[in-house]
């Protein structure tokens, strides 16, 4: 295995860990490879220019993450991911509502059997899964795809996930087929009013990549998922619809600058409540229109001496059929500095600063500009080998 | 200057300075060595630190320490191509040509990069040395050659033999071997499918050294034994006979194995030394027809045009090859250089001159180019590593369901309606 294949393998493994362990949003750019630990702190704040139009004047989130991966055997490693966050929503009138607490902690194992890669993850139902109605409103906005938030949800009843991936290589082309299942436990979002269980998701993925040479790579891929209906009080209450994600990326290095170009398209099907008479509706649960999301990312990393300077430019757009359309530009700058700690191995600090600006058109013709900023700091430790 | 313009100018200057900032050189300054030692002792995977520290040892003429440092690092981090490459160079400079060849082959088979090209050049540079070392191993059954082509089309051609005790004819025979072998290899690469980068024609040095190991047995028996040891389906044995002061005769014997049954074909080409020197294609074409022309799917090649050699140039080529085979690359380089002066367009001479210079580079011209290339590799791979990991951090994280937000239609703008009491901070809640 070449060094680059090793690197790319680590990256894929991290993708699986993030996706399976409930860690859908990576904090910062650095990967977690085998024998690594990572501590990250992220803070973001958004301000809406026309609070009356969108129903809120500000939204802020602070998230912390600790991930540790330990090799057990050559073919097996295990790890844990612990994350917590605090979101604050400022209403149109200036009042604030806070939702905070743990995300369901995750333990995971990843193994390689022949060419097959398997990841298993278990999320413990210890996250902050309940709150008042207002706190649930605050927690719900974390799922809004337009904002590049570091967390998408808090506790959701724990559960398990498993993914199997089969990478094949022929004539310099890498093809990877993958399939996964995610299942959740019950949780009580509104105290003991009712329990709720997210539907089991089955996902199939395909990735095709080609390393053009040591300095450049192209890759396309995606996945499609079907999800069982969500259940409450032993009845189906919401069918979230099918979801598809497609992406393409090209990465290349020119002298001391590396460039990443990436495009993502994500489609979330319409959500539906069961037809009348088939089950007892859950008050507040409604059919939801389909939603599309797209993003284009340009990332550069330039070596200044031995220190990399990274820039990040991303354009994001969301459209919810018949309801809203919004766009946001994100500009970030960061670096990675080696730091000295009295432990074996190497440690790096990656600070990053971001600014965001965009515009949102919501239902009934209301419109509001949105601006924001964010800072993050990641400390990454690699064991000496 | 307006403030905005001043800021813009400052930004441009910063970017320009950043673009021009040099990377630390391969060989560290004396004041850096202590820091590098501490850095490497903390992490063996710090390839840049290991390579620069080894370069410091090399510069101090402590080559043993430099080689050991790389050997140790390569043992701990076997996936680091730069280590493997430098370990190969260390082994080469200490005379372990087979070990060096193993390292270079590992690099050369990787994703194309300056390092793989460097490894391929070093394999060429030590070809003669490794052939002599590999031959007894092959004959003793210690290893086998693996070909990407069907073995039946693989050709082995030891050096042409010179009849009689005539040093000039022996040098001419060696030069003829080199030129015909070169033509045959290029033609086979063009004319045979299968993708073998060598076209299925084995190094003549390897065939020759193996022939020498086979022992004194008759022509056909010897050719059959050679075919077995080299896993070759076709063997060419040529000889050169001086018929008169000007005329020479090439005797060509070809052994083919057709469905397991040996088939022998013989032919003769008569020419003059001067005519052969000016246009060796007359022999190359005949050899092609005998060994590869009858193979199904083969395409008659466009042989490289004659490159204007002279008898004197061929003598320099032959004598240089004799010296190289004796392990005397420095005088060989001088002989090839003289030949290039006599026949500047002759590709065989210029290739051999380059090969001799490359061979001598490791032992004479220090390992600076090697180390610089390896360090550059480490640095560039590191940036690609950082880059490749970015798509994880920057991939839009939309995969997770925010279950309640989705089902209650709250995961969007314009849906934030509060039903509980909101704590007022600067006004009343909605």
Least confident of A130-134, A296-300, B41-45, B344-348: B41-45
Q: How far is CA A378 from the centre of its chain?
A: 16
Q: Is B417–A55 a contact, with Cβ atoms under 8 angstroms apart?
A: yes
Separation between Cα atoms, residue A302 and residue A257, nearest integer Å: 4
Residue B199's pLDDT is 59
Residue B48's pLDDT is 80
Phi, psi of A182 (to 5 degrees): -135, 130
Has residue A185 got a pLDDT over 90? yes
Contacts of B373 in chain A (CB under 8 A): none
Chain A and chain B share a number of CB contacts under 8 A equal to 319
Q: Is B24 on the interface with A (CB under 8 A)?
A: yes
- How close B124 comes to chain A (CA, Å)? 22
Average pLDDT over residues A197-207: 94
Q: Which of B390, B396, B430 sits opposite A29 (nearest CB)?
A: B390
Q: How confident is the model at residue A314 (pLDDT cuts 50, 70, 90)?
A: very high
> Which of A5, A74, A95, A203 to probe by mutation at the B interface, max B CB count within 10 Å?
A95
Q: How confident is the model at residue A16 (pLDDT cuts 50, 70, 90)?
A: very low
Separation between Cα atoms, residue B23 and residue A256, nearest integer Å: 9
Residue B18's pLDDT is 41
Tell me the pLDDT tens digit for each residue of B308-331.
Answer: 788 899 999 999 999 988 888 889
Contacts of B36 in chain A (CB under 8 A): none
Residue A346's pLDDT is 73
Has residue A305 got a pLDDT over 80? no
Q: Which of B383, B388, B408 sits opposite A11 (nearest CB)?
A: B388
- How close A78 comes to chain B (CA, Å)? 20
User: Burial level of A80, CB count in 10 A (0-12/13-18/19+)?
Assistant: middle
Residue A226's pLDDT is 96
Q: Which of B95, B8, B50, B64 lies closest to B329 in space, CA to CA?
A: B95
Q: Which of A207, A158, A199, A162 lies closest to A180 in space, CA to CA?
A: A162
Separation between Cα atoms, residue A197 and residue A187, nearest integer Å: 6
Q: Is B420–A230 a contact, with Cβ atoms under 8 angstroms apart?
A: no
Residue B305's pLDDT is 63
Element (H, E) at A292: strand A291-304
> Which of A1, A57, A140 to probe by mutation at the B interface, max B CB count within 10 Å?
A140
> Which of A214, A347, A348 to probe by mutation at the B interface, max B CB count within 10 Å?
A214
Q: Which of B397, B405, B428 sits opposite A24 (nearest CB)?
A: B397
Radius of gyration of chain B (CA): 31
Q: Is B23 on the interface with A (CB under 8 A)?
A: yes
Counted residue by residue, chain B has a size of: 430
Q: Which residue has the higher pLDDT, A215 or B162?
A: B162
Q: Which of A214, A345, A385 sits opposite B113 (nearest CB)?
A: A214
Q: Is B386–A301 a contact, with Cβ atoms under 8 angstroms apart?
A: yes
Q: How confident is the model at residue B21 (pLDDT cuts 50, 70, 90)?
A: very low
Contacts of B84 in chain A (CB under 8 A): none
Q: What is the mean pLDDT of chain A?
A: 83
Quote ipTM for the complex: 0.82
Say whether A142 sits in a helix, a strand or coil.
coil
Average pLDDT over residues A178-196: 90
Q: Which of A8, A93, A346 sits opposite B43 (nearest CB)?
A: A346
**Hey, how many other C-beta atoms are within 10 angstroms of the C-beta on B310?**
16
Contacts of A53 in chain B (CB under 8 A): 414
Percent of chain B whose pLDDT exceeds 70: 70
Separation between Cα atoms, residue A41 and residue A150, nearest integer Å: 9
- How close B3 comes to chain A (CA, Å)? 22
Phi, psi of A22 (to 5 degrees): 80, 20
Best-predicted range by mean pLDDT among A3-7, A53-57, A289-293, B243-247? A289-293
Strands (E), B213-323: 234-242, 247-258, 261-272
- Beta-bridge partners for A359: A327, A369
Closest-CA residue of B relative to A261 is B391
Q: Is B395–A227 a contact, with Cβ atoms under 8 angstroms apart?
A: no
Q: Is A245–B398 a contact, with Cβ atoms under 8 angstroms apart?
A: yes
In angstroms, the Cα distances linking B124 to B106, B137, B149, B215, B410 are 14, 20, 20, 27, 68
Average pLDDT over residues B217-223: 74
Q: How confident is the model at residue B22 (pLDDT cuts 50, 70, 90)?
A: very low
Left (φ > 0), alpha (ψ -120 to 50) or beta: where does B118 sit? alpha
Tell me the pLDDT tens digit for each residue of A110-127.
Answer: 888 888 989 999 999 999
Q: Which of B406, B418, B423 sits opposite A240 (nearest CB)?
A: B406
Task: State the number of CA atoms in the 13 A half-sphere of A183 facing the CB.
Answer: 5
Residues with Cβ within 8 Å of A172's Cβ and at least 6 positions away in sequence, in order, are A210, A211
Separation between Cα atoms, residue A63 and residue A27, nearest integer Å: 8
Q: Is B112 on the interface with A (CB under 8 A)?
A: yes
Residue B19's pLDDT is 41
Angle, vertex CA B197, rays to CA B191 and CA B202, nearest 5: 85
Average pLDDT over residues B373-385: 63
Q: Is A304–B400 a contact, with Cβ atoms under 8 angstroms apart?
A: no
Residue B20's pLDDT is 40
Residues with Cβ within 8 Å of B73's Cβ and at least 6 positions away in sequence, in order, are B44, B47, B50, B80, B83
Best-predicted range by mean pLDDT among B16-25, B118-127, B393-402, B411-420? B118-127
Counted residue by residue, chain A has a size of: 385
Q: Is B195 on the interface with A (CB under 8 A)?
A: no
Average pLDDT over residues A237-258: 85
Closest-CA residue of A relative to B413 is A54
Tell me the pLDDT tens digit for each residue of B165-180.
Answer: 889 999 999 999 999 8
Q: Is A4–B381 a contact, with Cβ atoms under 8 angstroms apart?
A: yes
> Which of A91, A339, A368 to probe by mutation at the B interface, max B CB count within 10 Å?
A91
Torsion of CA B197, B201, B203, B206, to 10 degrees: 130
Tell me the pLDDT tens digit for each residue of A59-79.
Answer: 999 999 999 988 787 788 888
Q: Is A306–B24 a contact, with Cβ atoms under 8 angstroms apart?
A: yes
Closest-CA residue of A relative to B385 is A7
Q: How confident is the model at residue A327 (pLDDT cuts 50, 70, 90)?
A: very high
Q: How confident is the model at residue B304 (pLDDT cuts 50, 70, 90)?
A: low
Q: What is the mean pLDDT of chain B?
A: 76
Average pLDDT over residues A223-245: 93
Tell me the pLDDT tens digit for each residue of A19-32.
Answer: 333 333 222 223 34
């Amino acid at each position: 295995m070449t060094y680059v294949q090793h690197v790319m393998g680590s990256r894929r493994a991290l993708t699986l860990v993030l996706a399976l362990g409930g860690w859908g949003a990576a904090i910062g750019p650095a990967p977690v490879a085998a024998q690594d630990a990572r501590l990250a702190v992220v803070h973001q704040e958004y301000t809406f220019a026309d609070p009356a139009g969108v129903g809120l004047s500000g939204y802020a989130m602070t998230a912390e993450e600790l991930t540790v991966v330990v090799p057990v055997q050559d073919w097996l490693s295990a790890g844990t991911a612990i994350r917590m966050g605090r979101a604050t929503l400022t209403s149109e009138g200036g009042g604030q509502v806070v939702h905070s607490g743990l995300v369901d902690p995750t333990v995971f194992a990843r193994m390689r059997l022949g060419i097959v890669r398997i990841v298993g993850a278990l999320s413990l139902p210890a996250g902050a899964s309940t709150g008042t109605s207002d706190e649930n409103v605050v927690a719900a906005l974390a799922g809004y795809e337009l904002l590049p938030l570091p967390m998408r949800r808090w506790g959701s009843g724990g559960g398990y996930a498993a993914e199997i991936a089969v990478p094949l290589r022929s004539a310099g082309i890498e093809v990877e087929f993958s399939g996964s299942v995610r299942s959740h436990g019950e949780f009580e979002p509104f105290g003991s009013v009712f329990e709720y269980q997210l539907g089991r998701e089955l996902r199939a993925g395909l990735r095709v990549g080609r390393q053009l040479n040591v300095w450049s790579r192209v890759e396309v891929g995606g996945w499609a998922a079907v999800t069982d209906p969500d259940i409450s009080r032993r009845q189906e209450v919401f069918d979230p619809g099918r979801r598809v994600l497609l992406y393409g990326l090209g990465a290349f290095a020119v002298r001391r600058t590396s460039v990443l170009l990436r495009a993502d398209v994500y489609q979330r099907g319409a959500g539906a409540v069961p037809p009348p008479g088939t089950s007892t509706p859950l008050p507040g649960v409604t059919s939801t229109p389909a939603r599309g999301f797209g993003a284009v990312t340009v990332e550069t990393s330039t070596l200044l001496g031995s220190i990399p300077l990274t820039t990040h430019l991303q354009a994001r757009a969301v459209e919810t059929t018949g309801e809203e359309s919004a766009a946001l530009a994100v500009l970030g700058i960061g670096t990675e500095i080696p730091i000295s700690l009295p432990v074996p191995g190497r440690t790096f600090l990656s600070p990053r600063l971001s600014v965001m600006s965009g515009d949102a058109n919501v239902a009934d013709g209301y419109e509001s500009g949105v601006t924001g900023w964010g800072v993050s700091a990641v400390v990454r430790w690699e064991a000496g080998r | 200057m307006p403030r905005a313009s001043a800021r813009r100018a400052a930004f441009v200057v910063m970017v320009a300075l950043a673009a021009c900032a040099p990377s630390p050189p391969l060989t560290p300054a004396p004041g850096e060595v202590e820091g590098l030692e501490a850095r490497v002792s903390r992490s063996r995977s710090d390839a840049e630190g290991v390579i620069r520290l080894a370069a410091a040892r090399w510069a101090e003429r402590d080559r043993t320490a430099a080689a050991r440092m790389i050997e140790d690092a390569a043992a701990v981090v076997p996936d680091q191509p730069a280590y493997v490459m430098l370990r190969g160079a260390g082994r080469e400079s200490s005379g372990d040509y087979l070990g060096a060849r193993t390292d270079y082959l590992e690099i050369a088979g990787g994703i194309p990069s300056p390092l793989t090209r460097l490894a391929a050049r070093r394999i060429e540079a030590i070809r003669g040395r490794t052939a002599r070392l590999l031959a007894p191993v092959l004959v003793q059954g210690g290893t086998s050659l693996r070909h990407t082509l069907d073995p039946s089309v693989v050709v082995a051609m030891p050096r042409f033999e010179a009849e009689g005790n005539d040093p000039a004819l022996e040098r001419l025979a060696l030069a003829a071997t080199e030129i015909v072998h070169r033509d045959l290899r290029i033609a086979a690469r063009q004319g045979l499918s299968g993708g073998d980068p060598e076209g299925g024609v084995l190094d003549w040095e390897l065939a020759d050294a193996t022939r020498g190991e086979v022992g004194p047995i008759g022509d056909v028996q010897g050719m059959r034994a050679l075919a077995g040891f080299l896993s070759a389906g076709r063997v060419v044995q040529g000889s050169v006979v001086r018929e008169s002061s000007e005329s020479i005769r090439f005797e060509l014997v070809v052994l083919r194995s057709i469905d397991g049954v040996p088939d022998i074909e013989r032919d003769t080409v008569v020419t003059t030394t001067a005519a052969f020197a000016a246009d060796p294609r007359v022999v190359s074409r005949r050899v092609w027809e005998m060994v590869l022309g009858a193979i199904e799917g083969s395409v008659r090649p466009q042989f490289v045009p004659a490159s204007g050699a002279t008898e004197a140039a061929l003598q320099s080529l032959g004598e240089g090859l004799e010296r190289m085979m004796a392990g005397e690359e420095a005088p060989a380089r001088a002989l090839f250089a003289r030949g290039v002066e006599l026949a500047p367009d002759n590709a065989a001479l210029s290739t051999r001159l380059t090969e001799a210079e490359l061979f001598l580079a490791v032992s004479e011209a220090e390992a600076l180019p090697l180390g610089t290339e390896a360090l550059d590799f480490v640095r560039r791979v590191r940036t690609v590593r950082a880059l490749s990991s970015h798509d994880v951090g920057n991939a839009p994280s939309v995969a997770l369901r925010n279950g309640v937000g989705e089902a209650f239609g709250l995961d969007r703008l314009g849906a934030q309606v509060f039903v509980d009491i909101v704590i007022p901070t600067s006004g009343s809640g909605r």
